[in-house]
C-alpha cells in the first residue's frame, strides 16, 4: 500500500507507506503493518448441529460481521515536544465522530471505508523524537467502496414526449426536439453489492423512483421546491432536503435494494406537478470486500 488518508470533513491526515530509506521530513506521517483492510470478516450466521446425523444444517446465506482495521503510524520530529504535538494532532482526528479512511495502492487504485477510531495508543518513548502510534479502527460495514469523487452522477429529466417530425417532410428527416424516457442506468463495477445514491432535484409535488428490473419502488410524498434537492440515502433508508431537514417520514413504499456486484440497474423517474427543471441524479459506488 502506498498511502492512507484519514478524512474528517474538510480535514485530511495523510500517511505514506513506510520506507527504510531515506528518512521522511519532519512531520510527515508514515504507516506500516496495515491489517484487516481486505478479505472477508467472520460469518455471523449461527449453524445448528444435526442431532442424529454428521455435521450441521447448512445456512442459506452468509452475513458478515463488522471489520477491525489496524496500522502503526510514525513521524519524525526535531524535539520531544514536537513529537508529542504530532501525537496530539493524530489523536484528535476521529475522537468524536466516525471518519472516512482511504487507502491508495501502488497502482493508484483507491477505496474507502467509513470507520470509527477505537483507539490511538502512543508508545511511550521518553526523550525520543520519533512519534509512534498504534491505530485501531472499526468499520461497521465490512465492505469497502470507491470514493464518491471518483464516481460521477448520472441524471435524467422526468419522461417527456418528443416534438415529432417536421412536416411537410424534408430529406434528410428532421426531428427538432427529442423526448426523455426518464431513466438512468447505474452499474456496480465492484465485487460486492452496493447501495445506490439518489438526488431528486425540484420542483415537484411528489416523486417516484422505480427499479425497472425488479419493480422495487421508493416514493417521496412531499413538495420539493424548485432548486431544492432531496437526498435519498438507501444505505441508511432515510431522506433529507437541502442537507438540513430530515424528510424520511414522507418516504413511501421503501422497497430498498442493493445493486449486485458486476450488474446494472435501471431506474424510472416520475413526478407530479412539475415546476422548473426537476431531475433525478443517481450513482452507485463500486463495492469490494
Same domain? For 68 and 158 the reply is no
Cβ-in-10-Å burial (0-12, 13-18, 19+) of 177 comes to exposed
Q: Residue 253 — φ and ψ, nearest 5°?
A: 70, -55
Tens-digit pLDDT profile for residues 60-108: 999 999 999 999 999 988 888 898 999 999 999 999 999 999 999 999 9
Model pLDDT, residue 127: 64
Write the Ramachandran bin of 36: left for phi over 0, alpha for psi from -120 to 50, otherwise beta: left
Q: For residue 278, tell me if it sits in a domain.
A: yes
Model pLDDT, residue 64: 96
Same domain? For 98 and 228 the reply is no
Q: For residue 56, tell me if it sits in a domain.
A: no
Model pLDDT, residue 25: 82
Same domain? For 79 and 156 the reply is no
Same domain? For 252 and 162 the reply is yes
Model pLDDT, residue 21: 65
Window from 15-19, 132-136, 144-148 with minimum mean pLDDT? 15-19
Nearest to 132 by CA among 18, 1, 36: 18
Same domain? For 158 and 128 the reply is no
Nearest to 205 by CA among 283, 276, 281: 276
Top pLDDT among 250 and 167 is at: 250
Same domain? For 165 and 124 the reply is no
Residue 240 belongs to domain with CATH number? 2.60.120.860
Same domain? For 275 and 173 the reply is yes
The cell numbers describing 16, all together, are 505514506
Q: For residue 245, tell me if it sits in a domain.
A: yes
Say which residue the cell 495523510 belongs to. 14
Same domain? For 157 and 276 the reply is yes
Q: For residue 50, tell me if it sits in a domain.
A: no
Same domain? For 17 and 134 the reply is yes
Across the range 267-275, mean pLDDT stands at 97
Domain closes at, from 86, 108, 142: 142
Same domain? For 84 and 176 the reply is no
Model pLDDT, residue 124: 76
Domain closes at, from 142, 169, 198: 142
Q: For residue 117, tell me if it sits in a domain.
A: yes
Instruction: Compute the half-sphere exposure of residue 128: CA atoms within 13 Å on the CB side of its CA.
Output: 13
Q: For residue 100, tell me if it sits in a domain.
A: yes
Across the range 268-289, mean pLDDT stands at 97
Spatial distance between the Cα atoms of 90 and 267, rounded to a whole number of angstroms? 43
The cell numbers describing 157, all together, are 429529466
Domain range enclosing 105: 3-44+62-142
Residue 21 belongs to domain with CATH number? 2.40.30.200
How many domains does the chain contain in total? Answer: 2
Same domain? For 267 and 163 the reply is yes
Q: For residue 213, tell me if it sits in a domain.
A: yes
Tens-digit pLDDT profile for residues 190-238: 999 999 999 999 999 999 999 999 999 999 999 999 999 999 999 999 9
Q: For residue 49, tell me if it sits in a domain.
A: no
Model pLDDT, residue 177: 62
Tens-digit pLDDT profile for residues 141-188: 999 999 999 999 999 999 987 666 656 766 776 666 667 899 999 999
Model pLDDT, residue 129: 85
Model pLDDT, residue 2: 86
Same domain? For 31 and 77 the reply is yes
Domain closes at, from 142, 162, 179: 142
Amino acid at each position: 500500500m502506498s498511502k492512507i488518508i484519514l478524512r474528517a470533513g474538510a480535514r485530511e491526515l495523510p500517511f505514506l507507506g513506510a520506507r527504510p530509506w531515506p528518512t521522511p521530513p519532519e512531520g510527515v506521517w508514515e504507516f506500516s503493518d496495515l491489517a484487516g483492510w481486505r478479505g472477508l470478516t467472520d460469518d455471523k450466521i449461527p449453524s445448528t448441529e444435526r442431532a442424529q446425523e454428521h455435521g450441521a444444517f447448512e445456512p442459506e446465506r452468509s452475513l458478515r460481521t463488522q471489520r477491525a482495521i489496524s496500522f502503526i503510524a510514525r513521524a519524525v520530529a526535531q524535539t520531544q515536544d514536537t513529537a508529542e504535538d504530532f501525537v496530539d494532532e493524530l489523536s484528535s482526528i476521529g475522537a468524536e465522530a466516525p471518519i472516512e479512511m482511504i487507502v491508495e495502492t501502488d497502482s493508484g487504485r483507491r477505496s474507502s471505508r467509513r470507520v470509527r477510531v477505537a483507539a490511538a495508543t502512543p508508545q511511550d518513548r521518553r526523550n525520543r523524537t520519533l512519534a509512534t502510534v498504534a491505530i485501531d479502527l472499526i468499520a461497521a460495514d465490512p465492505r469497502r467502496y470507491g470514493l464518491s469523487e471518483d464516481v460521477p452522477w448520472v441524471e435524467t429529466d422526468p419522461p417527456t414526449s418528443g416534438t415529432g417530425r417536421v412536416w411537410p417532410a424534408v430529406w434528410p428527416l428532421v426531428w427538432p426536439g427529442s423526448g426523455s424516457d426518464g431513466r438512468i442506468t447505474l452499474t456496480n463495477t465492484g465485487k460486492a453489492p452496493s447501495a445506490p445514491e439518489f438526488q431528486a432535484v425540484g420542483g415537484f409535488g411528489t416523486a417516484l423512483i422505480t427499479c425497472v428490473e425488479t419493480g422495487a419502488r421508493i416514493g417521496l410524498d412531499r413538495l420539493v421546491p424548485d432548486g431544492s434537492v432531496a437526498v435519498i440515502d438507501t444505505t441508511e433508508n432515510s431522506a433529507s432536503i437541502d442537507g438540513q431537514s430530515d424528510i424520511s417520514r414522507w418516504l413511501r413504499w421503501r422497497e430498498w435494494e442493493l445493486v449486485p456486484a458486476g450488474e446494472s440497474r435501471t431506474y424510472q423517474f416520475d413526478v407530479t406537478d412539475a415546476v422548473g427543471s426537476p431531475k433525478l441524479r443517481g450513482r452507485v459506488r463500486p463495492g469490494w470486500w
